[in-house]
Amino acid sequence: MDNEHNEKLFESKKPDNKENGKLFADSRKSRPKEKPDTSAPSSGSWKVLLVDDEEDIHSVTRMALKGFTYKGKDIEFLHAYSGDETKQLLSKHKDIALIFLDVVMETNHAGLDLVKYIRDVMKNRFTQIVLRTGYPGQAPEREVIATYEINDYKTKTELTTFKLFTVTLASLRSYDSIMGLEHLRRNLELIVRERTAELESKNVKIMEMDQMKTRFFSNVSHEFRTPLTLIISPLEDLMVDRDLEANKKDQLEMMHRNALRLLGLVNQLLDLSKIDAGSMKLNITYYDLNKVLRLIARSFMTLAERRKVQYNLQIPDDVMNCYFDRDKVEKILLNLLSNAFKYTPEKGEITCSATYKTEKKAGSAQYLEMLVKDTGPGIPSEQLDKIFDRFYQVDDGWKKETSGTGIGLSLTRELTTLQHGEIRVESSPQKGSCFMVTLPVGKEHLQEHEYVITESEESGGQSMIIKCSLSDNRPDDVANTYEINGTGDRPVVLIVDDNQDIRNHIRESLNKDFNLTEACNGKEGIEKAVNIIPDLIVTDLMMPDTDGLELCKKLKTDERTSHVPIIMLTAKAEVDDKIEGLETGADDYITKPFNKKELIIRIKNLIEQRNKLREKYANQISLEPHQHAVKSVDEKFLEHARTIIEANIGDCNFDVNNFCAEMGMSRMQLFRKLKALLNQTPNELIRNLRLQRAVYLMRQNFGNVAEITFEVGFNNLSYFAKCFKEKYGLLPSEYQKQIG
Ligand code: ADP
């Protein structure tokens, strides 16, 4: 485009206007006969609206921008001659890119009013507006631009063809990039809206499912309680029978203890689901709070004596009648004390104290401060803030008889909060833990909808929740394990389980048929297995510290124990998760609860299988190495043994002691291993291999019997002959004759 030419085109109009000092003034009000069509929007053009009451300006601008294109699109002009016309066009065309706007039209500020209308009323921030005025400096540029949100300000004389070009180009470029961003923004907004809606609907579904789960939980827990109560009560009746045999009584006690434990857990789950559903209220009663605390705390005295724990009770003797939620206070103290007893080892110290403070706290005049302090293992500081989280259990490798559920403390905190109380803990590893609970007493601090008042009941003896809580701690010594040795030739079975009741149960099931030995955790299980080389191991899968899988892996890769069959006990839920691990390690698994007879049959089957394998190995062991490349740990062990004997075959001083030393095993380990694999003692194996070599040498015509005798490490001819006859049914000389 020839800009100079166009500039002249503009300038040619100037003389007319110079006369009255106004640019383009003369052409004002001269309306065109026909307005250009402004209605049809064309998507392939930039819409530029020319607003001016002088037709000349319209035609000059159109002419000047003739042939203009940007990004391959030309201009579609729209024309308006007044404010009203402009408004109509604006409402019809939402995609106007640029407006050249006259200031003075029907009023002196008509153009500026339109800017306000576009920006403030229509909220249109995208259309570019270039203001044109006849008077240079009619309004100070910056001020106008700032006040009216226009994009450029030009006097009419300034808008020569060249300038119109650049102004149009710059404005369309701005419009284009603003619209690009706007488009992006709208798309993003749309995506965000869609995602938010998606998340909201998912959230609603999750909440519904959660409520369903809570309801289900609560229903199921309820359903559990009835049958459990129907188990516990008749058991209690049976247990009082004085004529009961001791082992029957033990069994009943074990059933009772475990039924109570289950009931305790079910009750805890029920409480949690009530709290989740927001349906747990305070059930307050007017009663002697100290009496309740003393009852709970004293119920642990027998346990303390048995555990030789120094148990300090500091609960006031006087009567403290007030309103409080008895059930919740009991549960809080029971949880804390039962944890203290669960985690404090023998000869430790536990203190339980209660004091009353009268400072105003949580709207109540008086509050109770309970403290349970122990000298147990403590809790690592980085885990202190997590122990009140639901299902959280401290992972410190500390051996526990009862591994727990991680519910107790979270429930304790919920119950405390429900009563407007607080719970805190201070603990340092190896020194012990101190749990502190503060609870406002009375009902002044409670709003009416938070509680119901119930009649107080005198309670005689231990309530069910106390019994449930105490059932967590077995009466026996925590790590009490038994050895049962019947006759010497019965197979030895090692039982590894962290739960003593389960050990007892297995022991009672097996003691008629097997010699038994026990370990109360995986680590001890491994040590015992290596030391005694049992004929079979029954181990639990889930154990704190070293679990059944690890035990299996260790023993199966240790050549001293690799042959020992292992039966894994698993809860049904664990079977699927662990089946892969079991395939690589254990020889069999049994799901809990298991049937006594089934366990015995499985043990006998495995021992029988071992016997068959033993025959196979015994026939196979010879001085020729095995051909197959992949060897089990047991085959490698046998080959190792064979190589050692072969290397020493001519040495008549090579005996069991040298053999053990070279194998890196104790006499007992080597004896039990070879007995298990080959049913041969180490001595027998050495002798058999020597005799095998003798036969080989005879076939090779190595020499006479005496030479061969010494060559295979016998230093006594008649002993060699005796052994040879025992094994092959012929004397060496007869044998030689037969093959010769
Ligand atoms: P659970 O005892 O069933 O595992 P809790 O919620 O009662 O669950 O306790 C959570 C964890 O806090 C426990 O796993 C235990 O490691 C730790 N803990 C609680 N009380 C004590 C305590 N007195 N001494 C040491 N550790 C404790």
Instruction: Name the closest-CA residue to atom 21, ligand 1.
Output: 339
For residue 212, the SS3 value is: helix
Angle at 132 between CA 127 and CA 137, to 5 degrees: 130
Answer whether 719's CB lies under 8 Å from 695's CB. no
> Could you tell me the two tokens for 596?
């006594």
Q: For residue 445, what pLDDT band results from cuts at 50, 70 and 90?
A: confident
Instruction: Name the closest-CA residue to atom 19, ligand 1.
Output: 339
- Mean pLDDT confidence for 426-448: 91
**pLDDT reported for residue 739:** 79
Check if 393 has its Cβ closer than 6 Å to any atom of ligand 1.
yes
Instruction: Name the closest-CA residue to atom 20, ligand 1.
Output: 339
Check if 404 has its Cβ closer than 6 Å to any atom of ligand 1.
yes
> Of 387, 415, 434, which is best to mutate to test ligand 1, by the most ligand atoms within 8 angstroms of its C-beta?
387
- Mean pLDDT confidence for 364-384: 90
Q: Which atom of ligand 1 is nearest to the CA of 405?
A: 3
Q: How would you label 708-724 residue by residue, b for 16+ Cβ within 10 Å and e otherwise? A: bbebbbbeeeeebbebb
**pLDDT reported for residue 394:** 73
Q: What is the pLDDT of residues 100-126, one digit of tens each?
A: 998 888 888 888 889 999 998 999 989
Q: What is the pLDDT of residues 246-291, one digit of tens each?
A: 888 888 888 888 888 888 888 888 888 888 888 788 989 999 999 9
Check if 343 has its Cβ closer than 6 Å to any atom of ligand 1.
yes
Q: How far is the CA of 387 from the centre of ligand 1 (A)?
A: 7
Element (H, E) at 353: strand 349-357
**pLDDT reported for residue 7:** 35
Q: What is the pLDDT of residues 523-540, one digit of tens each?
A: 999 999 999 899 999 998
Check if 587 has its Cβ closer than 6 Å to any atom of ligand 1.
no
Q: What is the pLDDT of residues 670-714, one digit of tens each?
A: 998 898 888 889 999 999 999 999 999 998 888 888 999 999 999
Cβ-in-10-Å burial (0-12, 13-18, 19+) of 536 comes to buried
Q: Which of 87-91, 183-187, 567-571 has the lowest average pLDDT?
A: 567-571
Give the up-direction half-sphere exposure of residue 296: CA atoms within 13 A in the CB hemisphere: 27
Instruction: Name the closest-CA residue to atom 3, ligand 1.
Output: 404
Q: Which residue has the tokens 């107080």?
A: 456
Q: What is the pLDDT of residues 560-616, one digit of tens each?
A: 998 899 998 887 666 665 565 566 578 888 887 778 888 899 999 998 888 888 777
Give the separation between CA 481 and CA 518, rounded to whole angstroms. Answer: 5
**pLDDT reported for residue 136:** 53
Angle at 150 between CA 148 and CA 156, to 5 degrees: 110
Neighbours of 442 (CB within 10 A): 16
**pLDDT reported for residue 39:** 37
**pLDDT reported for residue 630:** 55
Helix residue spans in 308-423 (DSSP H): 326-343, 408-418
Helix residue spans in 558-681 (DSSP H): 572-584, 596-620, 633-647, 656-663, 667-678
**pLDDT reported for residue 257:** 84
Q: Which residue has the tokens 């048995």?
A: 306
| pLDDT > 90 in the chain, percent | 37
Answer whether 543's CB lies under 8 Å from 522's CB. yes
Q: What is the pLDDT of residues 212-242, one digit of tens each?
A: 887 887 788 778 887 888 888 888 888 888 8
Check if 387 has its Cβ closer than 6 Å to any atom of ligand 1.
yes
**Is pLDDT above 50 for 25?**
no
- Mean pLDDT confidence for 395-408: 62
Q: For residue 480, what pLDDT band results from cuts at 50, 70 and 90?
A: low
Check if 433 has its Cβ closer than 6 Å to any atom of ligand 1.
yes
**pLDDT reported for residue 142:** 62
**pLDDT reported for residue 143:** 67
Q: What is the pLDDT of residues 70-88, one digit of tens each?
A: 999 999 999 999 999 999 9
* Residue (of 169, 41, 53) closest to 96 by Cα position: 41
**Is pLDDT above 60 for 342?**
yes
Give the separation between CA 462 and CA 83, rounded to whole angstroms. Answer: 93
**pLDDT reported for residue 10:** 32
Angle at 678 between CA 676 and CA 684, to 5 degrees: 115
Mean pLDDT, all residues of the chain? 82
Q: Which of 131-145, 347-361, 399-413, 481-495 has the lowest average pLDDT?
A: 131-145
N-term to C-term CA, the chain: 122
Q: How far is the CA of 645 from the centre of ligand 1 (A)?
A: 56
**pLDDT reported for residue 103:** 84
**pLDDT reported for residue 477:** 42
Angle at 555 between CA 551 and CA 559, to 5 degrees: 170
Q: For residue 363, what pLDDT band results from cuts at 50, 70 and 90?
A: low
Check if 316 has its Cβ closer than 6 Å to any atom of ligand 1.
no
